[in-house]
């Protein structure tokens, strides 16, 4: 079992969980009508339909993180194959680019860039 890839997969799962929970708590909790799942209280700068797609996209990122984490854990446990190596290479580059985007986009104030970078480094070490 490749412990680097396994750790990267677990980090990806955890990042998705933390992303959804903190997003709901810090961003969306004041934007929904009581009893509603999807936020719908927009304001003059953000219409309801825009808020709804931002919410959906926010959670899509978490879901994709969970999926990617599951794939990485499977690769770590099953061993390396040519197709698995292709997935690992694509994922490694994706994590590095994602880390850079979050770093630049938030001027380093959002901790997600560090977790994404850590996943990329772990994948690089594991390949």
Question: What confidence tens digit (pLDDT) does each residue in 75-105 have?
Answer: 999 988 999 999 999 999 999 999 999 999 9
Q: How many structural domains are present in the chain?
A: 1
Residue range of the domain that includes 47? 3-126
- List of the chain residues with pLDDT < 70: none
Q: Residues 11, 19: contact at Cβ < 8 Å?
A: no
Query: How confident is the model at residue 44, as a pLDDT?
Result: 76
Alpha-helix runs per DSSP H in 79-127? 82-105, 112-126
Query: How confident is the model at residue 119, as a pLDDT?
Result: 98
Q: Which of 9, 1, 36 is nearest to 123 (CA)?
A: 9
Query: How confident is the model at residue 47, as a pLDDT?
Result: 87
Query: How confident is the model at residue 34, as a pLDDT?
Result: 81
Query: How confident is the model at residue 13, as a pLDDT?
Result: 97
Query: How confident is the model at residue 92, as a pLDDT?
Result: 97
Q: Residues 68, 123: contact at Cβ < 8 Å?
A: no
């Amino acid at each position: 079992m490749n412990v680097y890839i396994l750790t990267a997969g677990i980090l990806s799962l955890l990042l998705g969980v933390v992303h959804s929970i903190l997003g709901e708590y810090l961003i969306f909790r004041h934007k929904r009508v009581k009893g509603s799942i999807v936020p719908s209280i927009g304001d003059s700068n953000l219409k309801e339909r825009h808020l709804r797609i931002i919410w959906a996209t926010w959670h899509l990122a978490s879901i994709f993180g969970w999926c990617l984490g599951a794939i990485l854990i499977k690769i770590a446990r099953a061993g390396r194959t040519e197709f698995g190596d292709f997935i690992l290479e694509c994922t490694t580059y994706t994590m590095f680019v994602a880390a850079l985007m979050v770093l630049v986009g938030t001027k380093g104030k959002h901790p997600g860039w560090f977790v994404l970078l850590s996943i990329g480094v772990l994948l690089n070490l594991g390949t």
